[in-house]
Copies of this chain bind each other. A is one copy, B any other.
Amino acid sequence: MVYKKPFVKEEYDKRIISVKKSMQDAGFDLLICQDPASMNWLTGFDGWSFYTPQAILVHLEESAPIWFGRAQDAKSARITTDIPDNNIIGFSEHLVHHRSEHPFDELAELVVSRGWGRAHIGVELDAHYYTARAHRHIVNGLPNATISDNREIVNWARLIKSDAELIYMREAGRIVTDTMNKAISRIKPGVRQYEIIADVYHTQTMGFDHKFGDYTSLCPLIQVGEGTSTPHLTWTDEPLPNQGLVVMEIAAARRHYHAPLTRTMHLGKPPADIAKLAQVIVEGGDRAMAAARPGVTCEEVEAVWQTVLKRHGYTKESRVGYSIGLNYPPDWGERTASLRPGDSTVMQAGMCFHFQSGMWLSDYGAAISEPFVVTEQGGERLSDVARELIVIS
């Protein structure tokens, strides 16, 4: 078989060097990364095996990373990464869902066997799959180590995208454009929600010019009528009504790089309040994205949005955006920079965000969002779907 790695080896080497620099600054000898996006970003490791404990280890004095995971997935590490064979370590099968033991007992033994039992170790204390039990087994297995929260050190390293990464971001943007336009073309009274979603999945996987889409970190979301007042409902068998709101939030992913996008549709003539809300969302988003240049902080961009909102008498408490890039389920956000008050992260060229301008009021909601990349000219939109309340007549 031919497996095309998403990046050349030099790209991964650069990433490891940059993370080692962050480790030195933070006082860590060793990182244990379980977030599948961090694992992939550091090494290229890919596969839906993140439901069992696994990790990439990076030690300051070890040139290559170490892959640790289930024995049956070791071959995936051999296929998808350049990690040398002696750094690919499978754990014993009986540890899967064991009542008292845990795969990370063997991870701790591995760390000791490499002579790192007294290391300063940074763990991803809040990574989705780094469970409290997993952490307990690492702590118990490494009594002489100093173990602390690495505070998303790799997530922060992922924040600025390289030119090679931006190619995938833009391709994902093109796929999500095609996918949202496909969904919009299917929205008619009487069409059932799941029929639209089936086409969304098909389009987002087919991609374009053999640039296929990967699975996205959230499933496609659709809300109808009163359901638009909350953002995370999924599809049902309900036929679309003759009149009313439909909000869809979907993404596309190229080699796991995500471009998410939200649009609001109205079946029939929209009431004035909804039309106005949509107009304000578009205006606020346009102004804020224009301000998203290198040197500006995340909270300053959010303040531009809030100014527009306030002038029209609206409030939105939830953040209006978050950084995006390489990710795996359950979330396409990077859990680092957010567009919200108090976030003083300084924007730099190559950072990517999802400007999520969703407004969820008590009885209905609307969202017209954009994925964008920070450039000297302001936020460059990665997708190209009509920025307006889309009226289906």
- Given A1-B227, A205-B198, A206-B198; A48-B132 close (CB under 8 Å): no
User: A116 contacts the other chain (Cβ, under 8 Å)?
Assistant: no
Alpha-carbon separation in the docked complex, A206 to B205 (Å)? 16
- Given A202-B202, A237-B212, A330-B329; A47-B230 close (CB under 8 Å): yes
Q: Which of B129, B197, B203 contacts A205 (CB 8 A)?
A: B197
- Given A198-B206, A213-B194; A132-B129 close (CB under 8 Å): no
User: A12 contacts the other chain (Cβ, under 8 Å)?
Assistant: no
The distance from the CB of A333 to the nearest CB of chain B, in whole angstroms, is 8
The distance from the CB of A325 to the nearest CB of chain B, in whole angstroms, is 15
Which positions in A face B, CB cutoff 8 Å?
1-4, 46-51, 71-76, 79-80, 93-94, 96-97, 99, 123, 125-136, 149, 151, 192-195, 197-199, 201-203, 205-207, 210-215, 218-219, 221, 224-227, 229-238, 317-319, 322, 329-331, 333, 335-336, 338, 340, 342, 360
The distance from the CB of A92 to the nearest CB of chain B, in whole angstroms, is 9
Alpha-carbon separation in the docked complex, A73 to B233 (Å)? 9
In the complex the two chains form, is B236's CB within 8 Å of A212's CB?
yes
Kindly report how many copies of this chain are found in the complex they form together.
2
A47: nearest chain-B partner, CB-CB: B232
Alpha-carbon separation in the docked complex, A205 to B4 (Å)? 29
Q: Which of B202, B233, B238 contacts A47 (CB 8 A)?
A: B233
Alpha-carbon separation in the docked complex, A221 to B232 (Å)? 25
Alpha-carbon separation in the docked complex, A234 to B253 (Å)? 13
Alpha-carbon separation in the docked complex, A319 to B235 (Å)? 34
In the complex the two chains form, is A206's CB within 8 Å of B219's CB?
no
Q: 9 more A-B contacts (CB under 8 A) besides A73-B231, A329-B330?
A: A47-B232, A51-B330, A71-B317, A71-B318, A72-B360, A73-B230, A93-B317, A127-B131, A212-B236
In the complex the two chains form, is A79's CB within 8 Å of B230's CB?
yes
Alpha-carbon separation in the docked complex, A46 to B205 (Å)? 25
Q: Which of B4, B129, B360 contacts A236 (CB 8 A)?
A: B4
In the complex the two chains form, is B1's CB within 8 Å of A226's CB?
yes
Alpha-carbon separation in the docked complex, A117 to B91 (Å)? 39
Enumerate 24 A-B pairs (CB-CB under 8 Å) in ascending A order.
A1-B226, A4-B237, A48-B232, A48-B330, A49-B232, A51-B218, A72-B231, A75-B230, A79-B226, A79-B230, A80-B233, A94-B342, A97-B338, A125-B131, A125-B133, A128-B131, A130-B131, A131-B131, A132-B132, A132-B136, A194-B206, A194-B207, A198-B203, A329-B330
The distance from the CB of A208 to the nearest CB of chain B, in whole angstroms, is 11
